[in-house]
Structure 1
């Protein structure tokens, strides 16, 4: 097919938003009914295997921060990747969902292709990935040779198991560990499958694997339309080997590129700013949670940066904070929730990676200013009313929060920020 080129006048941001408009016109815009929850991720405190009492203890924590979904991540299954709720260890799924609901929380889980063929997974043999000699090698969380996404029996059984979890009340599904790579030593060796009766003829190619995983997710969405689905990359789960526009029917959201571990260090290194460019290029939403303990202790710079570039946001590890930092987080999440519609549904525009605009047409905008340096910084930007979701003849009115100095003169905002400081302005 021919390559499309389009000439765009102005700064590079305008070229990115032109790309976004093209993608929106081809079905990759923000879904009209998109209503992401605000997640509390228990993984940071509970790791990949937890008991009911551990998760239950975090329900009031999540509720106190204004979260609307308890994300259990791993650890809910009989065995990693089984898709079966571990009732013997955790009690009935419906009871757990009801306990969370009493605190105003829904429940979400992580879903994986990688799984062991033994123990609590109980997969039929025709689901297995086979060597050229026809033998079966077991898999686990880090070794994917156990199951083949090209097995029609696997897709059928996986979706049957997940549909039961949906029927029990689980609302959000994050599809991770669906790649065909072996993570042992992080060498990322690719494993193929040679089983007869699967959707691939002969050795399964990487693209055949990718397409099979995406098909399973699409069929799950079709069978369970009320479930919110996020998909990690289908070729290399924690990274972004494949472009953001692939498989829009398979997932509502894409993964936020693994910035969940140490987001403030990523900001300092300039990596977190990649999400700014993604938002200029795509309306397709991202999901990510962050470790609150790995943020700037005073300004919560990473929290606010991710709130600005991640439409479906989650937090975790609140219990690792001292009392002063916990109070700052409570204040920040309350402020975030008060303006959340701008972050989740606003049209994103940026002047630089340090200045983000979230505009709701006819309703104004939230403008975020970030200092990503270790020295005080003054930022000055001028916006047209249309960039701020306002009519041309609107007198700009502002409401400043986060305590930094802001001046407005002739539609130009000048903001003075301390080292790693953040400021937010409600305009309109």
Structure 2
């Protein structure tokens, strides 16, 4: 791979075709593709399409895989795309243990020194240069050469089987920006049908240390899982890899990545306008299905009290986290405590001007369903019992198999019994993968897989949205819900019929300011550089300061915002001063809401964000001081950098400013531990 404009070479050794498999009791592997034929054609627009076909010969009769390798380069565009189809043309089923297809770049030809010029290049993960665990995924070529890298992973509790990662010695991301700051190659993997990532691997080839990239390779718990078994005459089509040449640094690559995802249907509709939620959890409390406490604290009267606070603050929806059910996970509305759901919807709308939303989960915190619907943890059928932790205690919930058709239908019926009564917003949480199920009666392959679990959860959401098309849905990651993501950020998301619309804003709801100060919440900055897919997150004002620093950070990085916590979970009295500060902040937020929910996000740096509405020729800038001392920042940028190119006149409110040509200079004076809001208007 070479960029003809710059002369930079990104791949310079033979392409790797490696597969290791099991079949008929034998372990086999193949390291090269035997050429059969190729074709090179032009399309109507002048693009070029190369198709290479070959065979992987394992030296055993009845075992043969064939590869159809496609490359397409459109005319007048700075990218090309790669697609790979693998087909079993043999007589035996093939259990694929490992696959590594990819381009090779020589890193170290001799004496341990990097190839000329590579010392200036870095490999930056897209979209998570910084992850929710605080780890930074920005690597020098020496880091790659020496193996100084590690993925951001998440582990469920020890009772969950099937958590072995196959990519501990590889790097995993949705995309990679490979750049020296002036030029680069953006590598994007996209597959909306299977869970697949763009993998970076070290390789040694003909005595030389190499970096392997692109192509196809297993990740996580052996994803894409459908590629792990090929029956005779079956084939698997891996997702497209786009290789996009660009000028600039990693941030330029992020914006290109965002445009790509918009084109794939993961952008924002023009009418996107989510309600600001008020989460009752932070003041009513989480009572973990304790019936006595629920009847004492989680009552209709307490919900109306929360509704008054929500209306007073300027919120638009009352959101019910745990507590509305007879027991968590049953998806049974507690009419004995709360009356009929349709009556609550009516009162909230007519008396408080609020809509209603709620959370549903996959686990269940009592023995609710027939035991045949739960996960069968071994091949030997036995009555379901909750698995026991290392401390000798059973887990506190029961584990339905999401791929059990009977459970799935019952869950759908119970959700619709509530949601069809006028619900505006739903959260799907606690659907985490609880390990493989061996029940032959559920309708899934035995054992079940994370891939099948993910499909079952999204199928449930899609059916709910099909029945309730005006419903807004946030879906936690169905495998790793509360940390780094398991499924790609874009996977099965969209605003078309059936798809869920919003991702979870990680788990910054409990300590929003601490998470910002620790650097963990900086992941939201990088997310917004790379995606227009909206996040949903609710925060507690108890975890903020009176300057509303956390409020404005999450308002700037989360398109669908939720608030709560006038009292908070750690206090026994309401904080009137904090509530007044939030009320003032909310007035400003609601006045500028269109910028935050639909504006184009631009990052000057991690602590200076711009939200632009091009059709208005206006932008809002948010800056943040995370220190105990006042900060003064002199900031200069081209108006084009924030989507306001071509402006003749500029007006700025909230900062000293100067315009010279197309360059705008701002002097930002930010008090300690405070946000700053600046409005920019052009003509």
TM-score w.r.t. structure 2 length? Answer: 0.58
Cα distance in structure 2, aligned partners of 1:142 and 1:356: 43
More strand by share: 2
Task: Provide the rounded CA distance (Å) in 1 between the counterparts of 2:399 and 2:639.
Answer: 56
The 2-side partners of 1:200 and 1:70 are apart by 38
Higher mean displacement: 70-79 or 239-248 = 239-248
Offset, 1:124 = 4.8
Q: 1:87 aligns with which of 335, 339, 344?
A: 335
Cα shift readout 1:354-387 (whole Å, capped 9, x = no counterpart): 1111111131111111112232222232333344
Separation of aligned partners in 1, 2:395 and 2:541: 26
Structure with bigger helix share is: 1
Task: Select 1:220's aligned residue among 464, 479, 485.
Answer: 464
Unaligned runs of 5+ in 2: 1-83, 85-214, 216-240, 288-297, 388-393, 569-573
Indicate yes or no: 2:256 matched with 1:10: no
1:208 aligns with 2:456: no
Q: Deviations over 1:120-158 (max 9, x none)?
A: x4x35553222323222359x965653011012222221
1:335-354 equivalent positions in 2, closer than 5 A: 335-354=588-607
**Secondary structure, aligned partner of 2:563:** strand
Counterpart for residue 285 of structure 2: 47
Is 1:166 the equivalent of 2:419?
A: yes
Distance apart, 1:223 and its partner CA:
1.9
The corresponding residue for 1:100 is 348
Deviates more, 1:277-286 or 1:410-419: 410-419
Is residue 483 of structure 2 the alignment partner of residue 244 of structure 1? no
Tell me, what secondary structure is at the counterpart of 2:567?
helix
Note the 1:98-137 alignment, pairs <5 A: 98-101=346-349, 102-116=351-365, 118=367, 121=368, 123-132=369-378, 133-134=380-381, 135-137=383-385
Which residue is 2:267 aligned to?
Answer: 29
Query: Which of 606, 624, 640 matches 1:370?
Result: 624
1:379/1:242 CA distance change after superposition, 3 Å? farther
Residues 1:292 and 2:541 are matched in the alignment: yes
- How far apart, in 1, do the equivalents of 2:543 and 2:644 lie? 37
Secondary structure of residue in 2 paired with 1:214: helix
**How far does residue 15 in structure 1 lie from its aligned partner after superposition?**
1.4
CA contact 1:129–1:137 (8 Å) conserved in 2:
no
- Inter-partner Cα distance in structure 2 for 1:164 and 1:137: 29
Select 1:414's aligned residue among 667, 676, 683: 667
Alignment match, 1:187: none
Which digits, 9 at most, give the CA deviation of each residue in 1:70-112, with x for residues without a partner?
0011111122111221111211111211221120100110110
**Structure 1 unaligned blocks of 5 or more:** 182-190
1:186 aligns with none
Aligned counterparts of 2:438 and 2:315: Cα–Cα separation in 1 = 45
- Is 1:390 matched up with 2:639? no
1:159 is displaced (CA, Å) by 1.6
CA contact (8 A) 1:130 1:137 kept: no
Rounded Cα–Cα distance in structure 2 between residues aligned with 1:381 and 1:6: 30
Residue 6 of structure 1: SS of its match in structure 2? strand
Closer, same or farther: CA 5–41 of 1 in aligned 2, 3 Å: same
In 2, are the aligned partners of 1:136 and 1:146 still within 8 Å (CA)? Answer: no
**What is the alpha-carbon distance in structure 1 between the residues aligned to residue 606 and residue 536 of structure 2?**
19
Aligned-CA RMSD value: 2.0
CA gap 1:145/1:79 in 2 versus in 1, 3 angstroms: closer
The number of residues matched between the two structures is 410
What does residue 262 of structure 1 align with?
511
Aligned partner of residue 666 in structure 2, secondary structure: strand
- SS of 2:542's partner is helix
Summarize deviations over 1:220-267 as a string: whole Å, max 9, x none.
Answer: 212221111000111121122322111115410000000111111111
> How far, CA to CA, are the matches of 2:678 and 2:267 in structure 1?
26
- Give the CA deviation at 1:54: 1.8
How far off its partner does 1:43 sit?
0.8
Structure 1 length normalisation: TM-score?
A: 0.90
Pairwise CA distance, 1:176: 0.3
Higher relative contact order (CA 8 A, sep 6+): 1
Tell me the SS of whatever aligns to 1:146. Answer: coil
CA offset at residue 389 of structure 1?
A: 4.3
SS in 1 for 2:324: coil
Secondary structure in 1 matching 2:247:
coil
Alpha-carbon distance in 1 for matches of 2:427, 2:274? 13
CA contact (8 A) 2:566 2:576 kept: no
SS of equivalent to 1:272: helix
